[in-house]
Amino acid sequence: MPKMKTHKGTAKRVHLTGTGKAMIRHPNPKRAKRSRSVMRALRSNIAADKTVSRTLNVNLPYGKD
């Protein structure tokens, strides 16, 4: 069976933790004009929603399930 290809666009946007949880960045914090403290908080990663997990597992075949 041939190797499965990783979706590079997803790989650049999603970080998988050691336990297999998908962490994603907040949407562009500078697009919505907010205070500096809120924009600083938006720089951190958040856990991806469970409804998206199946798509992420298809796009990142060699990440943990």
Residue 4 burial (CB < 10 Å; 0-12/13-18/19+)?
A: exposed
* CATH code for position 44: 4.10.410
Domain that holds residue 34: 8-59
Distances (CA, A) of 17 to 5, 14, 46, 47: 20, 10, 11, 10
Number of domains observed in the structure of the chain? 1
- pLDDT for 5 beyond 90: yes
The pLDDT score that the predictor gives to residue 65 is: 56
Range with the lowest mean pLDDT among 7-11, 20-24, 60-64? 60-64
Residue 37: inside a domain: yes
Q: Which residues are CB-neighbours of 6 under 8 A, at least 6 positions away? A: 59, 60, 61, 62
Split at pLDDT 50, 70, 90, the class of 8 is very high
Residue 41: inside a domain: yes
The pLDDT score that the predictor gives to residue 64 is: 66
- As a 3-state breakdown, the chain gives helix, strand, coil percent values, each rounded to 5, of 35, 15, 50
Reported as a single tens digit per residue, the pLDDT across 13-57 is 898 888 888 998 877 767 777 788 888 888 888 898 889 888 888
